Chain A
C-alpha cells in the first residue's frame, strides 16, 4: 500500500521560503508511471493545484504561483519537495502531496496534509 507523508515547518515568516518534503513509502518514486504533485487548501476554502514533477525532473506549475515555486525530486530518499518563496499570509493553507498516474488518470493517493501558517 502506497503511503505519502508531508513534513516541514508549520510556521513560516512572511517573505521567507516555505519548504516541505513528501516521503513516499510502499512504492518507488523512480517509477515512470507516476507524476508527483502538490496541492493546497486554505482554511474553509477550495483546493488549489500547485504543480507536479516527473521522474525525469520535468515540472508543470500553476501559472499563478510559477514565479515563486520549485518542486524537486530526491530519488535516493524516495522523496519530493516543495519550495515556495516570498510567502505571505495568503499562502497559509493545508498542503497536500499526492501521486498522479500518467495518462489522464486522477490522483490515486494523497498525503494526510500539513498545515503551514505564514505569520511573524
Chain B
C-alpha cells in the first residue's frame, strides 16, 4: 500500500491567516492526489483534485501543488468555516489511501 504522511497533525490559526499543509506519498502517485475538508459529524468535502485543480464551486482561496511525491495544500485567507480537519488521499493505486489528517483550530 502507498503510505501517505501528512504534516502538521494539527495547527492553530486565526481568521485571515495563510495556512499550509503538506502530504508526502511513499511512492509516485503522479498527480492523483485529492485534498478534502471534513467537519465534525460530516462527510469529507472535496476541495482539490489532480493535485492542483479546484473542485467546482470551491473558493479560489484554496490551492494545491505537487513536487514529485510531495504535495502542498494552501488556504490563503482562512475563513471561520475552514476550521476543520483536512485529509489528502491518493487515487493512483489500489487500495486508495488517506493521510492521517491535519486539524486546523482557532488560535
Q: Determine which of A48, A49, A112 lies in contact with B43 in the assembled complex, contact meaning CB atoms within 8 Å.
A: A112
Which residues of chain A come closer than 8 Å to B91, judged between CB atoms? 104, 106
Which residues of B58-107 have CB atoms within 8 Å of chain A's CB atoms?
A: 87, 89, 91-92, 94-101
The answer to whether B32 has its CB under 8 Å from any CB of chain A is yes
Determine whether the beta carbon of B95 is less than 8 Å from that of A47. Answer: no
Q: List the A side residues contacting B49 at CB < 8 Å.
A: 105-106
Note all chain B residues with C-beta closer than 8 A to A111: 43
- Chain B interface residue count, CB cutoff 8 Å, equals 20
Number of interface residues of A (CB under 8 A): 20
A72, B39: Cα distance in complex, Å: 29
List the B side residues contacting A61 at CB < 8 Å.
95
Is B24 on the interface with A (CB-CB < 8 A)? no
Any chain B CB within 8 A of the CB of A46?
A: yes
Is A60 an interface residue when CB atoms closer than 8 A count as contact?
A: yes
With contacts A46-B87, A106-B49 known, is A63 near B95, CB below 8 A? yes
